[in-house]
Amino acid sequence: MEKEKIRARARALYTDFYVKEPMELMEFLASQMPQASRTKLKSLLSKRVVYVDNTITTQYNFPLKPGMKVQISREKGNKEFHNKLLKIIYEDAYLIVVEKMQGLLSVSTERQKERTACNILNEYLKRSGRRNRVYVVHRLDRDTSGIMMFAKDEQTQHTLRDNWKNIVYDRRYVAVVAGDMEKDAGTVTSWLTDRKLYVYSSPTDDGGQLAITHYQTIKRGNGFSLVELRLETGRKNQIRVHMQDLGHPVVGDGRYGLEDLNPLGRLALHAFKLCFYHPVTGEKMQFETPYPTDFKKIFAKKS
């Protein structure tokens, strides 16, 4: 009984529907909400309040399969949240999952007290009339874009931090790196030591933290490679350092790469996938964003 109450609280912000047979999203919404006009249903999609398996979906003809979960947000706060550096892609009573743009700090540091994802979300919750605030679970570098999550209470924060390896089962990034990758796939293992302004890598255990990164080369062209990376450990600057170790630094990385190699005007690193078991309900949560458009453009054929 208690477990059902917990699940109910987590779902309180959504109306849930479950797909039993293959059909397009608009057709499914019409079957579940026969009183709603087609214009109303299109409005729900355009306002980004329809989720398919926890991912915002705006495509009216998105193909649904049996077993998928469709949710419609009842929470006005998400619709009223507008910030060019941060998007809310999921929220319930315990969590907020966001997509952070490059250039925005996740949280403030002793040296940097500027505007952060953390205080933007705290202002949003305060405006919405809610008393809770967000609690930091993990971070993305300022110049890295992509998906990250925050807890909405201390207990959920502690659960996530203390059980991160068991809760998060898939975490992936995509990067544009310099040169043609020699291998289609591989693993980089080293020990990293943080000296505040720079992270040093050693191929042998020198007292640093063990770091493991798995990579897969997606595309090569125009002197660059598009690489998908899966983290087995989550150390500071891990991907950037490991790509430097391979001799293929991330494009736009002035610290671990080449300062003058910056055709995109940004660090070409994006956290595109985050999959975890909900820390309270135990449900599988899967979030994914497309590769950034400018990452793909760098491979377009030159005239």
Return the top range by mean pLDDT from 47-61, 88-102, 120-134, 204-218. Answer: 204-218
CA distance 88 to 227: 26
Known catalytic residue at 141: yes
Residue 5 in domain: no
Give the helix ranges, DSSP H, for the chain.
2-11, 25-32, 38-46, 76-80, 117-127, 154-162, 164-167, 238-245, 293-297
| CATH number reported for the structural domain that contains residue 126 in this entry | 3.30.2350.10
Q: Where are the beta strands (DSSP E) in the chain?
A: 14-18, 23-24, 50-52, 55-56, 63-64, 69-73, 86-91, 95-100, 135-136, 145-151, 168-178, 185-194, 199-202, 209-221, 224-231, 269-277, 284-288
Dump pLDDT digits (tens) for 210-257: 999 999 999 999 999 999 999 998 898 999 999 999 999 999 998 998
Residue 222 in domain: yes
| Percent of the chain with pLDDT strictly greater than 90 | 53
Structure tokens given for 257: 């790469």
- pLDDT-derived band at 79 (thresholds 50, 70, 90) equals very low
- pLDDT-derived band at 209 (thresholds 50, 70, 90) equals very high
Which residue segment(s) compose the domain that 44 sits in?
Answer: 13-74
Residue 68 in domain: yes
**151 and 184 together in one domain:** no
- pLDDT-derived band at 58 (thresholds 50, 70, 90) equals confident
Comparison of pLDDT for 233 and 82, the residue scoring more: 233
CB atoms within 10 A of CB 220: 15
- pLDDT-derived band at 76 (thresholds 50, 70, 90) equals very low
Residue 291 in domain: no
Residue 11 has pLDDT above 60, yes or no: no
| Percent of the chain with pLDDT strictly greater than 70 | 89
**175 and 262 together in one domain:** yes
Dump pLDDT digits (tens) for 100-157: 999 999 987 666 566 899 999 998 888 776 667 899 999 998 999 999 999 999 999 9
Domain count, the chain: 3
Residue in 141, 143, 245, 253 annotated catalytic: 141
**53 and 112 together in one domain:** no
Confidence (pTM)? 0.76
Residue 7 has pLDDT above 70, yes or no: no
Residue range 32-40: average pLDDT?
86
Comparing 39-43, 142-146, 161-165, 177-181, which segment has the lowest mean pLDDT? 39-43
Residue range 167-195: average pLDDT?
95
